[in-house]
């Protein structure tokens, strides 16, 4: 897809997700490859800078540039809020638009078969 | 009173039977909106029927307030049997309590999850939690809540699918459609299958939007399949230490039907075209609700006019 079709803020979301998926500090070049897309290095740098300015990323100098990692307070707080709101309450989960939930064994087997058959 | 007053209730059952087949064959956006609209019409008119049935109890008021059957004069119109009117009172109370509970709980969950993001932030909020969750939290501007448990399962391209799917929920305000269907099902439990069909179509709608955004239906199918299987391996409601089967999401939902497999299958075939027959059927059914409700109301006015002095 062309990068221009993304919703505003979508790139920031992808960068945050990539850093969390990595689970360690990343250089801008590593973020660029972790995004798995054809994003320009300068674009990645701009987004990292913007997220750092917002306080969502922490960075320290490394080599000739910086390495970045997510500010964890926000994620820990979000996890606590989610857990307190949702855990053990089926009626509460039902009100959400969840990406995927509630699977029985037959469906699970069919989905596994789909992913198996699909493996490149 | 004639049979008209019961017809919206019978038609609700008919709508419930139609909901599944229509959901399976519809383009998601049109299907979701038409089914939610029909569900609301059904809920309002069947609740109106209950109110009319309760109101027929006026014939039991003491004589100065209402007329009496007297020998030699034409009989006053028959009300419905008291047992039906009393049943209607009970059903009406249950409906109002269920409706209140649903609205309150929905508001509470959304309000509390909004606190997980910073005010006015928008975008994505990541929660450092091993349970695999991706949730659209509506609001202004609303945000997407993703857990690290889900992020780490997916490839970068699959993460883009999930983000685009949740953004679709937010930008199209899907929570309003699902809330309308849920309120309808709370007022009239016969409509529960319609509510479930609407929630399926809303997920399909977001899947189609995500597929369009990433330009790949197959990738979308893979992402849905992977995320759904992840909830099985680690039920979202279970504590991190014991991701036991049969508890958490799967056990708790019990009878709730899984949509993941149907969504994956739908994504491996071309996008469905508009199902004109289904939409016409829903339109006619909605009209039938309104017409029979009007007939029942007119019945009641005749009845009440005869009894009230």
pLDDT digits (tens, 9 = 90+) for A32-86: 999 887 789 999 999 999 999 988 899 999 988 999 999 888 889 999 988 888 8
CB contact under 8 A, A81 and B113: yes
Domain boundaries, chain A: 3-70
Question: Residue A59 forms beta bridges with which residues?
Answer: A68
- Check if the interface score ipTM surpasses 0.90: no
pLDDT at B140: 79
Q: How confident is the model at residue B240 (pLDDT cuts 50, 70, 90)?
A: very low
Q: What is the pLDDT of residues A86-117, one digit of tens each?
A: 876 666 666 666 666 667 788 888 999 999 88
Q: What is the pLDDT of residues A4-24, one digit of tens each?
A: 456 557 888 999 999 999 989
Q: Which residues of chain B have a CB within 8 Å of the CB of A9? A: 122-124
- Judged against a pLDDT cut of 50, whether residue B248 lies above it is answered with no
- Judged against a pLDDT cut of 90, whether residue B284 lies above it is answered with yes
CB-based contact (8 Å) between A46 and chain B?
A: no
Closest CA to B171 of A85, A47, A16, A9: A9
The predicted model gives B33-58 an average pLDDT of 95
Domain A3-70, CATH 1.10.10.10 — does that match?
A: yes
Q: Are B85 and B172 in contact (CB under 8 A)?
A: no
d(CA B101, CA B95): 10
Distance from CA of A69 to the nearest CA of B (A): 13
Angle at A102 between CA A99 and CA A108, to 5 degrees: 100
d(CA B1, CA B53): 9
Distance from CA of A30 to the nearest CA of B (A): 13
**Six-digit token string for A55:** 């306080």
CB contact under 8 A, A35 and B127: no
d(CA B256, CA B237): 15
CB-based contact (8 Å) between A37 and chain B?
A: yes
pLDDT at B244: 31
CB-based contact (8 Å) between A33 and chain B?
A: no
Distance from CA of A51 to the nearest CA of B (A): 12
CB contact under 8 A, A111 and B127: no
Strands B143-147 and B134-137, by their bridges, are antiparallel
Q: How confident is the model at residue B238 (pLDDT cuts 50, 70, 90)?
A: very low
Q: How confident is the model at residue B117 (pLDDT cuts 50, 70, 90)?
A: confident
d(CA B288, CA B285): 5
């Amino acid at each position: 897809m062309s990068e221009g079709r993304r919703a505003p803020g979508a790139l920031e979301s992808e960068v945050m997700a990539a850093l969390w998926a990595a689970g360690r500090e990343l250089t801008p070049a590593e973020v660029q490859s972790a995004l798995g897309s054809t994003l320009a290095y300068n674009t990645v740098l701009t987004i990292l800078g913007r997220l750092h300015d917002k306080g969502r990323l922490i960075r320290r100098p490394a080599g000739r540039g910086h390495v970045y990692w997510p500010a964890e307070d926000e994620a820990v707080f979000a996890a606590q809020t989610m857990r307190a709101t949702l855990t053990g309450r089926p009626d509460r989960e039902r009100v959400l638009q969840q990406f995927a939930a509630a699977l029985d064994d037959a469906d699970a087997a069919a989905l596994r078969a789909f992913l198996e058959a699909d493996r490149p | 009173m004639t049979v008209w007053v019961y017809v919206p209730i019978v038609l609700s059952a008919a709508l419930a039977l139609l909901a599944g087949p229509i959901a399976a064959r519809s383009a998601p956006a049109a299907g979701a909106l038409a089914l939610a609209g029909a569900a609301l019409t059904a809920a309002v008119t069947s609740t109106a029927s209950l109110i009319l049935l309760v109101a027929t109890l006026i014939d039991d008021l003491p004589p100065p307030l209402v007329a009496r059957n007297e020998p030699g004069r034409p009989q006053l119109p028959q009300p419905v049997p008291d047992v039906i009117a009393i049943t209607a009172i009970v059903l009406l109370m249950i409906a109002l309590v269920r409706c209140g509970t649903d609205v309150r709980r929905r508001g509470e969950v959304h309000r509390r999850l909004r606190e997980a993001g910073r005010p006015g932030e928008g975008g994505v909020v990541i929660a450092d939690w091993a349970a695999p969750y991706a949730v659209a939290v509506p609001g202004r501007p609303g945000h997407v809540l993703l857990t690290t448990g889900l992020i780490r399962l997916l490839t970068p391209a699959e993460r883009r699918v999930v983000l685009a799917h949740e953004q679709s929920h937010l930008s199209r305000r899907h929570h309003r459609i699902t809330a309308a269907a849920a309120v309808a099902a709370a007022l009239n439990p016969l409509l529960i299958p319609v509510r479930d069909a609407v929630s399926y179509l809303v997920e399909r709608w977001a899947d189609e939007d995500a597929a369009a955004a990433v330009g790949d239906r197959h990738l979308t199918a893979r992402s849905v399949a992977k995320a759904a299987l992840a909830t099985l391996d680690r039920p979202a409601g279970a504590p991190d230490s014991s991701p036991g089967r049969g508890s958490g999401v799967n056990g708790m939902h019990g009878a709730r039907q899984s949509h993941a497999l149907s969504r994956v299958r739908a994504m491996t075939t071309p996008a469905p075209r508009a199902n004109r027959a289904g939409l016409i059927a829903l339109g006619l059914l909605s009209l039938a609700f309104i017409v029979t409700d009007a007939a029942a109301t007119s019945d009641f006015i005749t009845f009440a006019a005869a009894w009230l002095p």
